[in-house]
Structure 1
Amino acid sequence: MRIATWAFQGETHSGVVRDDAVHPFADGLTARQVVELGDAASVETLAGVPLAEVRLLAPLQPASLRDFVAFEEHVEGVRRSVDGRGGVPDAWYDAPTFYFTNPHTLLGPDVDIAFPAASVARDFELEVAAIVGPSSRIFGYTIFNDWSARDLQSREMQVNLGPAKGKDFAGSLGPWIVTADELDLYKDADGFLELLCTAEVNGVEVGRDLLSNMGWTFETMLGHAARDSRVVAGDVLGSGTVGNGGCLAELWGRTGRQEPPPLRDGDVVTLTVQGIGHLTNRITSAPPSEPVPPARPPKGRP
């Protein structure tokens, strides 16, 4: 089952995508509410509207968004690109690491992504996201683009925190949620999803990898997120960026030069994941922001 959220005639609806139509949930239920129920098949739907007549939005507004780094190849390439150090940290192998990013700036398909005006090293990140359902089970999956301002990220992470402003300006989810049962046939014997993932910039493929090259399954990452903490239905878990060109910075780290070049205004990025669909966005620039004043020296210190 595919669950989407869309705008139509000035109103926002969530429902089921069947063939070339979208069918709203009865009683005005949102995708998040249906995820919390845990059984989309039991929710009544209304008459359909042609998919071509609606504007798809991010499929749900998550409770939180944890983004993991589950691909060894990505860690090695981006680490060299961002901070100049090669290899994979030993700590990466201990457990699936994640950071929290902004759930309030998530956008859907076919909308412009406004990068910070000050950033010139603009990048995409090809990921799959799992949506958590009741009882700490995986409800479904969607595509996640974790947009990255690499120059801002590189500077702020010198403080050994983050990433923060290099990331939280935007993320993309879509085009819809595919329920977990639909993708079970792609699971290998170890529980990894063998889904082909590709990334294109202006119609040219720059990345291709299998989701099953993850270091941990989504179930293991969910268990780690819940350890000594709390995960609720509606939380979203990003897989981390796939390897083999799942982002530009990985390629820059391998070659030592920015080739392919950073994203520019007008560039169109399309991420495709087998069994889920396509997620396309165009790059723009946000208005320039005011500079941040430097830190005040502590009192009593010259």
Structure 2
Amino acid sequence: MKWVTYDAGDGARTGVLAEDSVRGLAPGTTLLGLLTDGQLAEAGEGALRDPHEVRDLADVVLRAPLPRPPSVRDCLCFLDHLRAGYRALGRDGDLHPAWYQTPAFYFANADGIVGPYDDVPISPGCSMFDLELEVGAVIGRGGRDLDPARAEEHIVGYTLYNDWSARDIQLRDSAQGIGMGKSKDSAITLGPALVTVDELEPHRRDGRFTFELSAEVNGKELTRGTLAQMDWSFGEVVAFVSRGTDITPGAVLGSGTIPGGCLLEHVDTPDLAGFSRWLQPGDVVSLRGEGLGETRQTVRAGLDVLPLSSGF
């Protein structure tokens, strides 16, 4: 099933996509609530059989399927993305052994979630604004200290994930040495739907999903790839994240950037797609995923920075 959060003019509702319509559940029902209560499959069957309302897809606005997840962790599962980023910054592409020992992740801002068609303002004070093509895995069944061989069973479905990044601010975050801060704080796109695992099974080969993913800026393709390129699988990520702590229904885990799926990796490409190498107001960014749908968002000017009493 493809679960959505939508607005037909009377507030956010939860529903299931069925061709060109949305079959809505009763007001007050949320996707997070259904996941927490373990009622997602039953509720979906009910919505298809006897919906509370039916709306044409063209008449609603799709929001992020999980507008406020309980937690968001963004991982780095594609080591080729890291190598390319290092080279773009003039560093050696060789990786420290730690990258091969465990998956890496940071806690992202669950309050920064935006919908698949929302405008995205440039982060305040940023002159190097970037997109990142990712897939988000959503936890459907909680757990703790999970077995890597079975941990993927705790994922209920997947959604497109855009990790908007302020690269110049990221350099300052890195210098401070305690992880990502304001460089990753302003926006994360989820959507257009949470697609359940069963619907994506036809795209699985040799235990991994192989559906095609791509990113475009102003109609020009930036990259194309698949989850089969992951160095760390989602099962390994879920198991690692659950070590010594509870992972709860609705938690989102980003895959990290598909190789080539951000402008940072292309800073040496002349006139890439006919626009300046960093995003500017008016640029249109689209992510696509086979079986997952498409996001389409316009970049807008950000606010000026209000300086602190000292520093920036």
* TM-score under structure 2 length normalisation: 0.88
1:80–1:86 Cα contact (<8 Å) kept: yes
The secondary structure found in structure 1 opposite 2:93 is coil
**Cα deviation, residue 130, structure 1:** 0.4
For 2:31, the equivalent position in structure 1 comes to: 31
For 1:56, the equivalent position in structure 2 comes to: 62
> 1:218-229 counterparts in 2 under 5 A?
218-229=234-245
The secondary structure found in structure 1 opposite 2:161 is strand
**Cα deviation, residue 117, structure 1:** 3.6
> 1:287-302 counterparts in 2 under 5 A?
287-294=303-310
**Cα deviation, residue 37, structure 1:** 3.1
Deviations 1:77-131 (A, max 9, x none): 1233357443222211111110001000100021110112421111000000000
2:174 counterpart of 1:174:
no
Letter in 2 for 1:59: P
**Number of residue-to-residue matches in the alignment:** 291
For 1:185, the equivalent position in structure 2 comes to: 202
For 1:299, the equivalent position in structure 2 comes to: none
For 2:175, the equivalent position in structure 1 comes to: 158
For 2:103, the equivalent position in structure 1 comes to: 96
**Sequence identity, in percent?**
36
> 1:9-20 counterparts in 2 under 5 A?
9-20=9-20
Gaps of 5+ in 1: 296-302
Letter in 2 for 1:193: F
2:142–2:247 Cα contact (<8 Å) kept: no
1:57–1:108 Cα contact (<8 Å) kept: yes
**Cα deviation, residue 256, structure 1:** 8.2
The range that moved more, 26-35 or 159-168, is 26-35
The secondary structure found in structure 2 opposite 1:52 is helix
The range that moved more, 98-107 or 277-286, is 277-286
**Cα deviation, residue 165, structure 1:** 0.5
1:5–1:12 Cα contact (<8 Å) kept: yes
The CA RMSD over aligned residues, in Å, is 1.8
**Cα deviation, residue 27, structure 1:** 5.7
Letter in 2 for 1:164: G
Change (3 A) 1:117 1:94: same
2:131 counterpart of 1:114:
no
2:126 counterpart of 1:131:
no
2:276 counterpart of 1:270:
no
**Cα deviation, residue 23, structure 1:** 1.4
Deviations 1:190-231 (A, max 9, x none): x22111110000000011111110012211111100011221
**Cα deviation, residue 72, structure 1:** 1.1
The secondary structure found in structure 2 opposite 1:289 is coil
2:218 counterpart of 1:202:
yes
Q: Distance in 2 between matches of 1:13 and 1:55?
A: 10
Gaps of 5+ in 2: 144-153
Q: Distance in 2 between matches of 1:12 and 1:256?
A: 42
> 1:210-249 counterparts in 2 under 5 A?
210-243=226-259, 245-249=260-264
- Deviating beyond 4 angstroms after TM superposition, the runs of 4 or more aligned structure 1 residues are 256-260
Q: Distance in 2 between matches of 1:204 and 1:272?
A: 13
Q: Distance in 2 between matches of 1:220 and 1:195?
A: 19
1:82–1:150 Cα contact (<8 Å) kept: no
Q: Distance in 1 between matches of 2:308 and 2:170?
A: 16
For 2:147, the equivalent position in structure 1 comes to: none
> 1:63-78 counterparts in 2 under 5 A?
63-78=70-85
**Cα deviation, residue 35, structure 1:** 1.9
Q: Distance in 2 between matches of 1:52 and 1:287?
A: 32
The range that moved more, 194-203 or 134-143, is 134-143
* TM-score under structure 1 length normalisation: 0.91
Change (3 A) 1:164 1:289: same
The secondary structure found in structure 2 opposite 1:26 is coil
